[in-house]
Structure 1
Amino acid sequence: MTTHEIRYRIDGMDCGACAAKIETAVRRLADVAEADVNFASETLTVRHRGSADLPKAIEKIIRGLGFTIESKPPSKSLSLEIPAAPDSCCEGKLAQEENGHEHALRGAVDHSHGHDERPKQRAWWTSDKGRLTIAYGLALSMAWAAGQLLPQLEAWFFSAAMLIGLVPIARRAVMAARTGTPFSIEMLMSVAAVGAVIIGASEEAAAVVFLFLIGELLEGVAAGKARASIQSLTELVPKTALLEENGQTREVQAESLIVGSTILVRPGDRIPADGIVLSGESAIDEAPVTGESTPVRKGAGTAVFAGTINGEAVLRIRVTAAAEDNTIARVVKLVEQAQEAKAPTERFINRFASYYTPGVVVVAALVALVPPLFFDGSLSGWTYKGLAILLIGCPCALVISTPAAIAAALSSGARRGLLIKGGAVLERLRDVTAVALDKTGTLTAGKPRVTDVIAFGRSEAEVLRLAAALEMGSSHPLAKAILDRVADHEMEVPPVSNAKAIGGKGVSGLVEGVDTFFGSPQAAAAMVALSLDQSAKVTVLNEEGKTVSILVANGCIAGMLAMRDEPRADALSGLRALTASGIKTVMLTGDNRRAAEAIGRQLGIEVYAELLPEDKQRIVGELREKGFVVAKIGDGINDAPALAAADVGIAMGGGTDVALETADAAILHGRVGDIKQMIALSKKTMANIHQNVAIALGLKAIFLVTTIIGVTGLWPAILADTGATVLVTGNAMRLLRTKPDSKV
């Protein structure tokens, strides 16, 4: 049977228990196949069998439970595409790959919001709960004042004031009970308050209701701040842009930009859209999006992100993504989706909570009835204690202990360029004991660099200039390496005439009157005999995994250039950080053994070379069979099978679409050190969850004991729920301030 989907935004959820109530209620409706509530993003997704009356029924139930609801526009299926760094290449294809710049981060996500879809968080005193709390506080103050004037009617005054706060609570309790949640905090609160009035504790009952309302209000404020943490990323994108049309520029709304538009970005301005630089060169501060600590120089042909800051020169940029599809909007959506994936710890706590609350209700009933019936205890005294225990029975703090920490950790990671696809992945990262890394584009930068310039009878600068003149205009990766080296040294490249490429050998031409050839050692040796010393240098450089090209000028060997895809700047420190943590590291690469082992020696990592995709998958399996919990890091198509086979697959930021769709997590800016940072974030999150559970259960245990022995009563008991929830949420929010480990 065909199913349909409706999406709603729910306002007013303070904790995971609220989300559970909504799910339970909606799932009981006829024709509903599935209902999922994402507490972090305040959304309800309902899959149903096409009933026309269902939307009205859903809205009625949600409002009856005390929440506000509004429908969302139909969602569309999009993919998350993060423009790759310009140094990306596929594994083992370095010399041939010329489109490595186009690698993207893509994951199947469901996206339906632009920057302005989510309303800004309102001030607490303007919310329904805020107004109710203020009104109830005033009523309680009036009841106290009236009680001072007419002491004999004090109990009635407090009972009347209590109704202002209790009636909305009781209404929600009844609706929750009718829709499958009889042991809600509202029901426990209502029973405790009414029972307290019956046994003559109306003043305390009124105070407890006030504390409950304040607690709910604080929970809402804390939850709102937690949700705003990742949504604040959308504020990085400017609202306006300078659009260039027909040689003129005008200011327009950034959300109106379409793919293909040309925009101007001035120095110091934030870039309003994802795009490709058409002209200009500037240092771009990408820290808000990728967490990259130092500005990245971008020029024509390079990709830029929305929300990053242009440093020093005017840039002309061609827009490659509309506002609702830009990098930041998609990162936000990916994190929200990840928050829906429950961790094993969260599922266990939810199951435990479903037994915990009824168990506490039974204990409360036994405390209230057994002593008076069998041990001549005071009925009112023990009933009072039983009512206090009821307030301890709500699992709100316990239920929110895990998702609050996970939501904060996912948000914190995303702001640092660490995307983790859900709580289950975040939890699994903590246990990683072995890391298998790809070479090209993962351990290395993904593009060759000139490592050695050796001159024979000429200066090194002249060798570089002559070679660059022949390679000018070529898009070959090795040619780009030479031209980059020349640009770094600000050398002037002379013109070339009669230039021609010699297939499989090199390129020749006339440079400043010098007949010049630049190509492979074999082709050069066919023209001019290499000396023993020159041949020995070529051999040594080849053994170091370097590609050697020789320059011949006027029939003589003028020099040679060696190039290699060098390790990333932080590769060595990143690997050392992993090793220092007791994590085994290995390199799995399809590259030739000589080049792989040269990089392996430089980085001090065990090497497996010349591997096919199935070989990488097999080695990951062998590591798991030996008892390792394996994380596989890669960026190429041939990494996808191994990424899927590993306990955790992590894609580097410049990775291919297939690798990033298969992976469980992604490192946006390709720092090897971020692998350790991701594992460290997982460990901090799990420690935070354990602290939260201890706070939630510890406070309840303390108040349970002190209530039974008569030390505490009704109003302190409410702190075991609302107080613990606020503490747990606040503790989880500490993860938002997690800083990168300076040792990595």
Structure 2
Amino acid sequence: MSESLSKEEIKTYRVQGFSCASCAKTFENNVKKIQGVENAEVNFGASKIYVKGRTTIEELERAGAFENLKVRGEKEQKVDYPPFWKQKENIKVYISALLLLVSWFLGKQIEEAHIFVTIGYATSILIGGYTLFIKGLRNLIRLQFDMNTLMTIAIIGAAIIGEWLEGATVVILFAISEALERYSMDKARQSIESLMDIAPKEALIRRENQEMSIHVEDIQIGDIMIVKPGQKLAMDGTVFKGTSTLNQAAITGESVPITKTIDDEVFAGTLNEEGLLEVRVTKRVEDTTLSKIIYLVEEAQAERAPSQTFVDKFAKYYTPAIVILAMLIAVIPPLIIGGDWSTWVYQGLAALVVGCPCALVISTPVAVVTAIGNAAKNGVLIKGGVYLEETGNLKAIAFDKTGTLTKGVPSVTDIVTYSRSEDELLIITAAIEKGSQHPLASAIIRKVEEKGLHFNNISMKEFQSITGKGVKARINHEIYYVGSPSLFEGLHNQISNKQKETIIDLQTAGKTVMILGTETEILAFIAVADEVRGSSKAVISKLKQLGIETVMLTGDNQRTAKAIGQQVGVTDVKADLLPEDKLTYIKEFREKHQNVAMIGDGVNDAPALAASTVGVAMGGAGTDTALETADIALMSDDLNKLPYTVQLSRKALMIIKQNIIFSLGIKAIALLLVVPGWLTLWIAIFADMGATLLVTLNSLRLLRIKK
């Protein structure tokens, strides 16, 4: 949805029956002309239209009658229509084909030019091409040269020069081509349609001790939802009662069930495998994680990839150029070299048909729609064709350490005290750190709670954060500092040589050292370690095989960072970084490599994520910030999705290039047949139809790529 249409002012409708981008554009223009409509915008990839103003579904369907489009409200259930060979609009094609065969057989028995044979072909053309001619002639009057215009000129021209059989054949083949295009695009969109069907439309709700089955639209925040074994969750919420395993594949792409118990977050569309759960609903149906995934993916399909922008600009000049070329082919040889008018007009008409830009125009969107849909089903949100292409071009990836390469749940491993008791010093440290959101602070608080020590009643005053180094506060009339070794080196160079050796030993073991002290002495070292993810080493190895340079960015000290970097196998390590240092480094990295991704948690690393070519957020499920800020969101905390995303993007990029080269190449070859006069309407329609179908089928190969 473009910025010209604000979310509050518009109404969204789903459209069924789009076969091509130009048809979608025609529908958009027709809707804009409806009385009461201020503006309209079609999302071809997602088969949606956004309408600003007042209108009805009946009026919208009248605007789409030229292609028999069906319209429904955004939240209405999908209507299953019969396959294209059973659809009413194709009955005229069967009648047209039957008339063609009868006329052809009659021509063999009597005479090809007999009046009855000609009438049979003409009737076949009129019945099969009726809607095509209406669209084509209307566009011709407006000087809009799309495929309908080109086909209309070619078929009428063929009839005028007496090529009735080929004219009728072109009508039928074109109708079949359109039906197959529509089928192929629907196949590409099925990945999104299947997402919409994941969550149930009703749920069993308990209100005031009464259980009732309620439609999801009527479920309120705070309702208790009862989910039996084997049922899917209809809403997001937190477990109120019970324990069970849930298959979250629909949201995170992970098929391994996750155990959920009281206070754990659960998502709509996930499958309850074992126990009875009671879930307190925390979001309305339009705000669930699944709804956001569907919305973001559909919007992503409307985002134009760079190659699509190029193709659209190219097609804008290409189509009129084909019309001019066809006219020159038809006129110049008879005028200059005395060629036969009938022969060269026929060649010109064939050039018009082969020049249809269908395959070229559809080459990029069908690949983008398929790739983004496949990624969504595997737990990866790619928020536009531009990010799909940029990921395919990546040369380097920068990783945040905490929570990305490591699990992000550090724990206290060593406590070295120099005065007072260990418990007393831990209580002081926890009292100072309780207001901090830093993962290392939470590790200390967990340690104190495990030991059963009480720190909440400790009076703390004058709390102050020292950016990038630590914190300080006054407890019992004395100022205490908690922070990195560099903080204490600045406080009158307090660290002794023996203490420095202890710090080096702990850091070399991959541990982060925090120091508690006053302005005059060091009281304790607290070593904290964050466990490396089991998948990190394998993922880095896969990325290296793909030719991607990897670097770890962290605020941790050089020795700890180097130990973890060596453990996972990254190419380079940058340590002791403040948030602004990460941003500076990403900018430098981009100057060196051009295309650089940054992967982090989507919150603390926001500046670096924004500065990278592609910002990737980990663990997007249930995290609104990650879903909104990142260009790509990995819905689970599984790093294995990263190599899959790179491979999918590279494959999509390759297929887009193949499609553009093939669609232009086959037309160039067909047009060269004009020189010896070998181009026929048969060859032209097969070249056009064949190119379109092959481009679409080639794009559908993206559905086969698995993580």
Q: TM-score range by the shorter chain?
A: 0.7 to 0.9
AA aligned opposite 2:690: G
Q: Quick check: 1:160 aligned with 2:123?
A: yes
The one of 396, 402, 425 aligned to 2:387:
425
On the 8 A contact 1:66/1:172 being kept in 2, the answer is no
Give 1:325 deviation, angstroms: 3.0
On the 8 A contact 1:13/1:67 being kept in 2, the answer is no
Instruction: Please give the secondary structure, in 2, of the residue aligned with 1:306.
Output: coil
Q: Quick check: 1:226 aligned with 2:191?
A: no
Give 1:610 deviation, angstroms: 3.8
Pairing of 1:459-470 with structure 2 (within 5 A): none
CA deviation string 1:283-311 (max 9, x = no partner):
22222321114222222221122222222
AA aligned opposite 2:129: L
Instruction: Classify 1:60/1:579 alpha carbon distance in 2 versus 1 (closer, same or farther; 3 Å).
Output: closer
CA distance in 1, matches of 2:667, 2:527: 69
The one of 360, 372, 387 aligned to 2:334:
372
Pairing of 1:103-142 with structure 2 (within 5 A): 113-114=74-75, 116-142=76-102
Instruction: Please give the secondary structure, in 1, of the residue aligned with 2:320.
Output: helix
Partner in structure 2 of residue 621 of structure 1: 587
**Mean CA deviation greater in 590-599 or 661-670:** 590-599
Partner in structure 1 of residue 406 of structure 2: 444
CA distance in 1, matches of 2:290, 2:663: 35
Partner in structure 1 of residue 552 of structure 2: 587
Instruction: Classify 1:222/1:129 alpha carbon distance in 2 versus 1 (closer, same or farther; 3 Å).
Output: farther
CA distance in 2, matches of 1:627, 1:33: 46
Q: Quick check: 1:738 aligned with 2:705?
A: yes
Structure 2: unaligned runs, 5 residues or longer: 417-433, 436-440, 460-481, 483-499, 515-524
Give 1:38 deviation, angstroms: 1.4
Partner in structure 2 of residue 643 of structure 1: 609
Instruction: Classify 1:236/1:276 alpha carbon distance in 2 versus 1 (closer, same or farther; 3 Å).
Output: same
On the 8 A contact 1:129/1:213 being kept in 2, the answer is no
Partner in structure 2 of residue 603 of structure 1: 568
Pairing of 1:660-739 with structure 2 (within 5 A): 660-739=627-706
The one of 536, 539, 549 aligned to 1:571:
536
On the 8 A contact 1:401/1:689 being kept in 2, the answer is yes
CA distance in 1, matches of 2:77, 2:155: 40
Partner in structure 2 of residue 301 of structure 1: 263
On the 8 A contact 1:284/1:311 being kept in 2, the answer is yes
CA deviation string 1:20-73 (max 9, x = no partner):
4445677799999865321112223356xx7x8x9999959944754536485x
CA deviation string 1:143-183 (max 9, x = no partner):
446656764221121112211122211111133345x5621
Instruction: Classify 1:127/1:342 alpha carbon distance in 2 versus 1 (closer, same or farther; 3 Å).
Output: same
CA distance in 2, matches of 1:285, 1:644: 33
Pairing of 1:313-462 with structure 2 (within 5 A): 313-448=275-410
On the 8 A contact 1:436/1:632 being kept in 2, the answer is yes
**Mean CA deviation greater in 214-223 or 427-436:** 427-436
Give 1:253 deviation, angstroms: 4.0
CA deviation string 1:535-591 (max 9, x = no partner):
999985565354799xxxxxxxxxx99863212221111122223333222222234
Pairing of 1:59-138 with structure 2 (within 5 A): 62-63=63-64, 65-68=66-69, 70=71, 72=73, 113-114=74-75, 116-138=76-98
Partner in structure 1 of residue 222 of structure 2: 260
Instruction: Classify 1:315/1:374 alpha carbon distance in 2 versus 1 (closer, same or farther; 3 Å).
Output: same
AA aligned opposite 1:164: I
CA deviation string 1:58-116 (max 9, x = no partner):
959944754536485xxxxxxxxxxxxxxxxxxxxxxxxxxxxxxxxxxxxxxxx33x4
Instruction: Classify 1:682/1:60 alpha carbon distance in 2 versus 1 (closer, same or farther; 3 Å).
Output: closer
Give 1:595 deviation, angstroms: 4.7
Instruction: Please give the secondary structure, in 1, of the residue aligned with 2:605.
Output: helix
Instruction: Classify 1:143/1:15 alpha carbon distance in 2 versus 1 (closer, same or farther; 3 Å).
Output: same
CA distance in 2, matches of 1:33, 1:244: 44
AA aligned opposite 1:269: Q
On the 8 A contact 1:270/1:306 being kept in 2, the answer is yes
Instruction: Classify 1:600/1:536 alpha carbon distance in 2 versus 1 (closer, same or farther; 3 Å).
Output: same
Pairing of 1:7-18 with structure 2 (within 5 A): 7-18=12-23
On the 8 A contact 2:602/2:618 being kept in 1, the answer is no
Instruction: Please give the secondary structure, in 1, of the residue aligned with 2:283.
Output: coil
On the 8 A contact 1:148/1:154 being kept in 2, the answer is no
Give 1:262 deviation, angstroms: 1.5
The one of 635, 653, 669 aligned to 2:619:
653
Instruction: Classify 1:726/1:482 alpha carbon distance in 2 versus 1 (closer, same or farther; 3 Å).
Output: farther
Give 1:118 deviation, angstroms: 4.0
Instruction: Please give the secondary structure, in 1, of the residue aligned with 2:696.
Output: helix
Instruction: Classify 1:248/1:348 alpha carbon distance in 2 versus 1 (closer, same or farther; 3 Å).
Output: same
**Mean CA deviation greater in 19-28 or 191-200:** 19-28
AA aligned opposite 1:574: V
On the 8 A contact 1:360/1:392 being kept in 2, the answer is no
CA distance in 1, matches of 2:283, 2:97: 51
Alignment size in residue pairs: 630
On the 8 A contact 1:545/1:595 being kept in 2, the answer is yes
**Mean CA deviation greater in 667-676 or 384-393:** 667-676
Instruction: Classify 1:64/1:353 alpha carbon distance in 2 versus 1 (closer, same or farther; 3 Å).
Output: same
Residue identity (%): 40
- The normalised TM-score by structure 1 is 0.75
The one of 203, 227, 244 aligned to 2:206:
244
User: What is the root-mean-square deviation of aligned Cα atoms in Å?
Assistant: 3.9
- The normalised TM-score by structure 2 is 0.79
On the 8 A contact 2:99/2:120 being kept in 1, the answer is no
Instruction: Classify 1:446/1:365 alpha carbon distance in 2 versus 1 (closer, same or farther; 3 Å).
Output: same
AA aligned opposite 2:401: K
Instruction: Please give the secondary structure, in 1, of the residue aligned with 2:240.
Output: strand
Structure 1: unaligned runs, 5 residues or longer: 73-112, 455-473, 487-492, 506-521, 523-534, 550-559
Instruction: Classify 1:2/1:501 alpha carbon distance in 2 versus 1 (closer, same or farther; 3 Å).
Output: closer
Give 1:594 deviation, angstroms: 5.7
Instruction: Classify 1:256/1:31 alpha carbon distance in 2 versus 1 (closer, same or farther; 3 Å).
Output: closer
CA distance in 1, matches of 2:48, 2:358: 19
CA distance in 2, matches of 1:161, 1:654: 56
Instruction: Please give the secondary structure, in 1, of the residue aligned with 2:145.
Output: coil
Give 1:446 deviation, angstroms: 2.0
Partner in structure 1 of residue 492 of structure 2: none
Partner in structure 1 of residue 272 of structure 2: 310
On the 8 A contact 1:421/1:665 being kept in 2, the answer is yes
CA deviation string 1:165-217 (max 9, x = no partner):
22211111133345x56212112111111111121111221111011111111
Give 1:628 deviation, angstroms: 4.0
Instruction: Please give the secondary structure, in 2, of the residue aligned with 1:283.
Output: strand
CA distance in 1, matches of 2:538, 2:599: 16
Pairing of 1:460-539 with structure 2 (within 5 A): 477-478=442-443, 500-501=454-455
Instruction: Please give the secondary structure, in 2, of the residue aligned with 1:637.
Output: coil
Higher relative contact order (CA 8 A, sep 6+): 1
Give 1:219 deviation, angstroms: 0.8
CA deviation string 1:658-696 (max 9, x = no partner):
454332111111222322222221110010111212321
The one of 142, 162, 186 aligned to 2:148:
186
